[in-house]
Amino acid sequence: YTEEEARKLGVVGWVKNTSQGTVTGQVQGPEDKVNAMKSWLSKVGSPSSRIDRTSFSNEKEISKLDFSGFSTRY
């Protein structure tokens, strides 16, 4: 679901479920699209997810994208 939403919004990066029951990842793209993805991650998420809180860090402008698509890491 997260990959599908990222593709719809046009952002790149990755997500990974952690052993602590949290999700970590990286999202890159135009600021408005990244903000839309952050909103989706904070309020909607995948159907089976439970969102207690979100924390976004290390936000910065970049000169070029580090990823060509969006993937789930295992």
Tens digit of each residue's pLDDT (9 = 90 or more) over 16-44: 999 998 999 999 999 999 999 999 999 99
Residue 6: exposed, middle, or buried by beta-carbon count in 10 A (0-12, 13-18, 19+)? buried
Q: How confident is the model at residue 1 (pLDDT cuts 50, 70, 90)?
A: very high
What domains does the chain contain, in order, with CATH numbers?
1-47+58-72 (3.30.70.100)
- Residue 43 contacts residue 49 (beta carbons within 8 Å): no
Torsion of CA 72, 46, 64, 59, to 10 degrees: -110
Dist CA 72 CA 16 (whole Å): 6
Does pTM surpass 0.75?
yes
